[in-house]
């Protein structure tokens, strides 16, 4: 009787281990980054466009690039940024998936020399949750860039004998945002706005801009201007 009981206990133990392993394997297949986060859990898939659209929703090209994500393994999936949907995409087999957005998560594309940060932020009295390009990271003033692509309607054909133009993706002008104390403001469009918005000494600020030949329409110059603010 005791021998039979031992055999039964062994069978139950083996069955328990088998079921546990199967469950763990299923969880591992869902979290395809094999990390502790949910960033690469299979999220929504991009919607299938039923008609031809010209152009591209991808700022950096349609290729998937290697990324570095703090807190994740070095072997995470390659990504690409979809600026129209404001989503990071990855490929598994022949299927494309959106990653899950995580507040504060930073995605670095080494080959592009570009870093995206997923953020909850308020701009123009609207709460937003999405990706911003991190240009200057500082406790005092930080500089971000919002990349945007819109889907525009193709022109109607003036003739009944020719077809309408396809809808098309169009890149919009980049929006530069300055963050101070978790508040975001549009970067000043010129020297006068810059001095007024940040209550600067007019003579000193004008001299700095003139001596360095800074242009408010050039990204590299905007970074120098933010560095100036952080050092006065």
- For 47-94, what is each residue's pLDDT tens digit? 556 678 999 999 999 999 999 998 887 778 899 999 999 999 999 888
36 confidence band (pLDDT: 50, 70, 90): very low
Q: What is the pLDDT of residues 110-156, one digit of tens each?
A: 999 999 999 999 888 889 999 999 999 999 999 999 999 999 987 77
Which of the two residues, 77 and 17, has the higher pLDDT score? 77
| Sheet arrangement for strand 149-152 | 53-54, 167-171, 149-152
Least confident of 5-19, 36-50, 91-105, 117-131: 5-19
15 confidence band (pLDDT: 50, 70, 90): very low
pLDDT exceeds cutoff 70 at 104: yes
- DSSP class of residue 75 equals T
In percent, how much of the chain has pLDDT > 70? 77
Q: What is the mean pLDDT of the chain?
A: 83
Which of the two residues, 212 and 181, has the higher pLDDT score? 212
Ordered by start, the domain boundaries in the chain are 1-30, 38-184, 188-232
Say what the pTM is.
Answer: 0.78
**Strand-strand pairing, 175-180 and 167-171:** unpaired
Nearest to 118 by CA among 103, 100, 136: 103
30: exposed, middle or buried (C-beta count within 10 Å: 0-12, 13-18, 19+)? exposed
Integer Cα distance of 22 and 25 in angstroms: 5
């Amino acid at each position: 009787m005791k021998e039979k009981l031992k055999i039964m206990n062994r069978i139950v133990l083996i069955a328990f281990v088998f079921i546990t392993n199967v469950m763990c394997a299923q969880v591992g297949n869902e979290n395809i980054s094999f990390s502790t986060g949910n960033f690469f859990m299979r999220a929504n898939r991009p919607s299938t466009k039923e008609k031809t659209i010209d152009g591209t929703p991808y700022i950096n090209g349609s290729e998937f690039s290697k990324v570095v994500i703090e807190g994740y393994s070095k072997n995470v999936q390659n990504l690409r940024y979809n600026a129209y949907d404001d989503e990071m995409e990855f490929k598994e087999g022949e299927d494309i998936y959106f990653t899950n957005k995580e507040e504060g998560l930073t995605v670095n594309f080494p080959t592009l020399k570009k870093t995206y940060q997923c953020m909850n932020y308020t701009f123009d009295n609207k709460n937003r949750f999405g990706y911003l390009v991190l240009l200057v990271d500082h406790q005092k003033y930080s500089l971000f860039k919002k990349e945007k692509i819109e889907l525009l309607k193709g022109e109607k054909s003036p003739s009944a004998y020719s077809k309408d133009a396809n809808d098309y993706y169009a890149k919009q002008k980049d929006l530069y945002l300055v963050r101070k104390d978790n508040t975001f403001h549009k970067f000043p469009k010129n020297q006068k706005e810059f001095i007024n918005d940040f209550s600067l000494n007019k003579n000193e600020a004008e001299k700095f801009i003139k001596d360095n030949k800074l242009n408010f329409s050039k990204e590299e110059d905007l970074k120098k201007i933010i560095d100036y603010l952080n050092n006065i």
